[in-house]
Amino acid sequence: MPEIEIKHITRYIYDSPVRDSANQIILYPINDEYQDVVKQEITITGSPLVDTHIDYYGNEVGSFTYVEPHMEMTISSKITVNTRHRLLPVNDIFPGEQWEDLKRLQSIVPYIDFLKQEYFEGLSELKAIVEAEKAKDDTPYQVVLRFCQYVYDNFDYIKGVTTVDTTLDEIWKIKSGVCQDFAHILMEMLRIINIPARYVSGYICTGQNGMRGEGATHAWAEAYIPDYGWLGLDPTNNCIANESHVRLAVGRNFSDCSPVKGVYKGSAKHKLEVAVTVDEDDNYYNQEKQVIEVPIASQVTEVSKNSYQRYMEMIQQQQQQQ
């Protein structure tokens, strides 16, 4: 795959001066045998000193404080990365032994964290679906592919009906959302049958072929396959995440991998703009900017509920018109 250049710009705009903005960024791509970071440049308004460390999950995390009063703060990350194709698992070798291997992982660090299920009201329904979708002689590899397709087939990709605070209950009720919602549902399905599953944040870069989430911040899941390792699964596009997916971080869920988060003193309200551009062979595409109105922390949950309520009202209106 050619070198890929990705620009990721996060901009906070405040309605009055703020100060002492303390932030955490996870914008440093993973370096391993399947992904090389050729170079990276991060610039931040005010040029604060960024301290970095490696977290529990192996991600590089940056921390900084912008002390001076300011009306706007921009965090710009420009990376050049190479990715390589990874061979896929063999799907028909000793399925019984593979399931036994997975059972043994239930008490082994770090897999314990990636096996914890999140309780929600629809869990019993999801467990029934999981049992129905899993065939007796399936290998773990066959199961994870089927679960990935189930999420893709049964959940609608609709922007704006969920936020980062939307619960599994809400996602399950509306059967809709975006990449992070699809990833969370798939991880829950995998953990039900004792397959370790982790959340991945990053980018998908496929040269304008119409895939969902292309050229923007993206999320998918990874499942642990015995005698293979972590296999990337993108339920938003029903595909295996391979050389077209650039990985930033892994964790238990979105909270562990959030690209930018922080706190500040001052204004009760601000606006967040996120823009990502991808360049392959000097061809920029997906120059998309997402604008999010962000109120004070005590109102964030209400914003999430309102988006859900608006969606349900729209569905009810459509049913009444039929």
What value does the mean pLDDT of the chain take? Answer: 86
291 and 238 within one domain: no
Residue 280's pLDDT is what? 58
pLDDT tens-digit map of 15-38: 999 999 999 999 999 999 999 999
Structural domain range at position 232? 95-254
* 313 part of a folded domain: yes
291 and 229 within one domain: no
pLDDT tens-digit map of 270-308: 899 999 998 755 444 444 455 444 433 322 222 333 444
pLDDT band at 268 (very low <50, low <70, confident <90, very high): low
Residue 183 contacts residue 220 (beta carbons within 8 Å):
yes
* 191 part of a folded domain: yes
152 and 167 within one domain: yes
Residue 123's pLDDT is what? 94
* 247 part of a folded domain: yes
239 and 99 within one domain: yes
pLDDT tens-digit map of 38-78: 999 999 999 999 999 999 999 999 999 999 999 999 999 99
144 and 75 within one domain: no
228 and 112 within one domain: yes
* 89 part of a folded domain: no
Residue 74's pLDDT is what? 97
- Domain count of the fold of the chain: 2
pLDDT tens-digit map of 194-243: 999 999 999 998 765 668 877 568 999 999 999 999 999 999 999 999 99
* 90 part of a folded domain: no
240 and 100 within one domain: yes
184 and 112 within one domain: yes
pLDDT tens-digit map of 101-156: 999 999 999 999 999 998 899 999 999 999 999 988 899 999 999 999 999 999 99
Asked which of 206, 226, 254 is the last residue of a domain, the reply is: 254
162 and 22 within one domain: no
241 and 145 within one domain: yes
Q: What is the CATH number of the domain that holds 189?
A: 3.10.620.30
pLDDT-wise least confident of 110-114, 186-190, 222-226, 312-316: 312-316
